[in-house]
Amino acid sequence: MEDSEKRRDLVNLMNAMVAGDFVVAARMLREAQDEFPDQFAQMAKDLGIGRRKAYALAQINRTFDDLGVPWERLRQIGWTKLMIIAPYASEDNLDGLLDLAEACTAHELSRHLHGEPVFADEHCVILYLSNDQYQVFEQVLVGHGALRSARGLAGKEAALTKALQRLLTKF
């Protein structure tokens, strides 16, 4: 079978799997990455998933299949949490990481793994800002201690609180 036929068959099979079962999709993406590394990004695009998610799913399979974790347990935990713990997983700490992933939210899990405190009374705020609004937002936060990083702003929560406290004292 030619590479183009293999690739087409793999894309067709992945299309059938991605919608219903991330564990199977992860296995298929890993196989695609191993067989067609130079075409992997395009295959992800063909599937309608982002490159980052495709690489994450392939890594999830690579990590947890190699460690022998049952697929059903992976399904129960979910791909988001598995993506968070995959870089840390080894034979020595696997059971503890999986138990932790089952016991808390993805946000809490990430905080645990980074040695950050987990607060029971945290609130999540999502903002949808235009480019102009975001520039103002970023300028205020950086001016109050946030740091620009590759993934956005670090320390934004403390910086926003500081900016708002300063504003409150003016009223």
**What token pair was written down for 76?**
């129960």
Q: What percent of the chain has pLDDT over 90?
A: 61
Domain ranges of the chain: 3-113, 131-169
Cβ neighbours, 10 Å, residue 85: 24
- What φ, ψ does residue 50 adopt, rounded to 5°? -70, 155
Q: Has residue 6 got a pLDDT over 80?
A: no
Q: Using an 8 Å Cβ cutoff, are 14 and 47 in contact?
A: yes
Which pLDDT does position 18 carry in this prediction? Answer: 56
Confidence of residue 38 (pLDDT cuts 50, 70, 90): very high
CA 143 – CA 145 distance, rounded (Å): 6
Which pLDDT does position 121 carry in this prediction? Answer: 85
Q: Has residue 19 got a pLDDT over 80?
A: no
Which pLDDT does position 77 carry in this prediction? Answer: 96
DSSP assignments along 94-148, one per residue: HHHHHHHHHHS-HHHHHHHHTT----TT---------HHHHHHHHHHHHHTT-EE
Which pLDDT does position 23 carry in this prediction? Answer: 86
Which pLDDT does position 24 carry in this prediction? Answer: 82
pTM: 0.71
CA 72 – CA 70 distance, rounded (Å): 5
Which pLDDT does position 29 carry in this prediction? Answer: 87
Tens digits of per-residue pLDDT, 63-116? 999 999 999 999 999 999 999 999 999 999 999 999 999 999 999 999 999 998
Confidence of residue 119 (pLDDT cuts 50, 70, 90): confident
What average pLDDT score do residues 49-73 get? 92
